[in-house]
């Protein structure tokens, strides 16, 4: 079928990177559903894709987008036809910036009347945070945890999930206003890295002790700093490279980014009893779809029970996608940014 989509057609600034196009969707297979999309969410990986810094991005014209809220309008032969008409939250392997998208059976969950913006925050942000807290780092009561970009979508999710586990949370943010925001989310300490060196500040606050876990989507120069703050039995969880987003010199910037991260020697990690763990949810979805499905079901259940409370940072119309992208890139937003197809619903 033919449908409309907003495609990335060139790298660069958000104002001229996107174009509305018509695309052809293939016939769905036996374990897929076709979804009429009401809204989709933004993620920082899509900012990196726009800047030409995300290797997994599809070729031009690229329809980005990992998650949608919409209604099932067609089901594959192996699925129950009663799903038609159900409102769902769904993951997609790109393609979310479209009015229709094809979704795998393992990648959606029914929503009922749960709020659209909050639901979109549950997908990539909360599923990533849940996977890291519960499966990768296995955060324990009393552990000291550092969360970089703590006011963002994944950051706020991490704060809530770590506090549920009884951890002591250090949140790293760029401004005093964000510091207040993450304190309201439950962070025990808020570190404004633009006014002081975060390594020195946290080291002083630890008073001779060490961190147990760092959740780091920044990488680059922060990797070595985190390593010095982490003690025996610690876990450094890397799930992004936003510091590379400031690159201006092509391959030289990328090489410098790698140099700043330093060399990891396995025997050194063993001797110090430290772990460095990488997380890429795209790969988890490809190789372990049952894990993605379980994480999605768990966070939606928690949200509906009121155990977690997703933060929506802005709701934009599809015509304002470029502005939403620029706002996300600026680092000034808090929580999830949402794009709705109806132009009358621009609330940003």
Structure tokens at 323: 């502005």
Q: How many CB atoms lie within 10 A of CB 57?
A: 18
Residue that wins the pLDDT comparison between 325 and 240: 325
Q: Which CA distances in Å does 11 have to 1, 96, 156, 286, 316?
A: 28, 19, 29, 26, 22
Q: pLDDT > 90: what percent of the chain?
A: 83
306 phi-psi bin (left φ>0, alpha ψ -120 to 50, beta other): left
Give the model's pLDDT for residue 229. Answer: 98
pLDDT beyond 70 at 133: yes
pLDDT beyond 50 at 346: no
Give the model's pLDDT for residue 120. Answer: 97
pLDDT beyond 80 at 181: yes
Alpha helix locations (H) across 112-175?
A: 116-121, 127-130, 153-164
69 near 111, Cβ under 8 Å? yes
Q: Report d(CA 310, CA 333) in Å as an integer.
A: 14
159 three-class SS: helix
Task: Report angle CA 109, 25, 295 to the nearest 5 degrees.
Answer: 20
Q: How confident is the model at residue 199 (pLDDT cuts 50, 70, 90)?
A: very high
CATH code for the part of the protein at 2-113+311-345: 3.90.180.10
Length of the chain: 348
Q: How confident is the model at residue 344 (pLDDT cuts 50, 70, 90)?
A: very low
Q: Report d(CA 77, CA 122) in Å as an integer.
A: 28
236 three-class SS: strand
Residue that wins the pLDDT comparison between 172 and 270: 172
The pairing of strands 168-173 and 108-110 is: unpaired
39 near 114, Cβ under 8 Å? no
* pLDDT tens string 37-61: 999 999 989 999 999 988 889 999 9
Give the model's pLDDT for residue 138. Answer: 97
Query: What's domain 138-278's superfamily in CATH?
Result: NAD(P)-binding Rossmann-like Domain (3.40.50.720)
Task: Report angle CA 219, 221, 227 to the nearest 5 degrees.
Answer: 75
User: What mean pLDDT value characterizes the chain?
Assistant: 92
Tell me the longest C-alpha to C-alpha distance in the chain. Answer: 62
Q: How confident is the model at residue 348 (pLDDT cuts 50, 70, 90)?
A: very low
Structure tokens at 16: 């001229």
Q: Report d(CA 156, CA 231) in Å as an integer.
A: 24
The residue extents of the domains of the chain are 2-113+311-345, 138-278
pLDDT beyond 60 at 76: yes
Closest CA to 186 of 209, 155, 210: 155
96 near 66, Cβ under 8 Å? yes
Q: Report d(CA 94, CA 139) in Å as an integer.
A: 30
């Amino acid at each position: 079928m033919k449908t409309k989509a907003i495609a990335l057609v060139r790298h660069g600034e958000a104002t001229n990177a996107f174009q509305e196009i018509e695309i052809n969707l293939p016939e769905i297979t036996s374990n897929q559903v076709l979804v009429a999309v009401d809204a989709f969410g933004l993620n920082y990986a899509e900012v990196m894709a726009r800047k030409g810094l995300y290797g997994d991005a599809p070729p031009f014209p690229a329809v980005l987008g990992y998650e949608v809220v919409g209604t099932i309008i067609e089901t594959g032969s192996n699925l129950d036809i009663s799903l038609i008409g159900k409102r769902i939250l769904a993951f997609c392997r790109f393609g979310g910036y479209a009015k229709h998208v094809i979704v795998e059976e393992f990648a959606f969950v029914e929503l009922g009347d749960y709020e659209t913006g909050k639901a979109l925050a549950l997908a990539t942000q909360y599923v990533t945070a849940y996977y890291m807290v519960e499966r990768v780092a296995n955060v324990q009561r009393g552990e000291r945890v550092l969360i970089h970009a703590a006011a963002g979508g994944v950051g706020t999710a991490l704060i809530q999930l770590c506090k549920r586990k009884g951890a002591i949370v250090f949140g790293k943010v760029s401004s005093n206003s964000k510091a207040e925001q993450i304190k309201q989310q439950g962070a025990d300490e808020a570190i404004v890295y633009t006014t002081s060196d975060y390594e020195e500040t946290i080291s002083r606050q630890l008073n001779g002790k060490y961190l147990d876990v760092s959740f780091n989507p920044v990488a680059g120069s922060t990797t070595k700093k985190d390593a010095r703050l982490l003690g025996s039995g610690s876990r450094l969880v890397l799930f992004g490279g936003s510091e590379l987003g400031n690159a201006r010199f092509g391959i030289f910037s990328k090489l410098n980014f790698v140099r700043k991260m330093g060399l990891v020697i396995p025997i050194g990690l063993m001797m110090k009893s430290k772990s460095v763990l990488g997380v890429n949810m795209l790969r988890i979805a490809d190789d372990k779809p049952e894990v993605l499905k379980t994480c999605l079901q768990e966070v939606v259940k928690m949200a509906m029970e009121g155990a977690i409370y997703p933060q929506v940072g802005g709701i934009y119309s599809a015509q304002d996608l470029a502005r939403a992208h620029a706002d996300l890139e600026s680092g000034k937003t808090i929580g999830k940014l949402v794009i709705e197809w109806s132009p009358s619903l621009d609330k940003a």
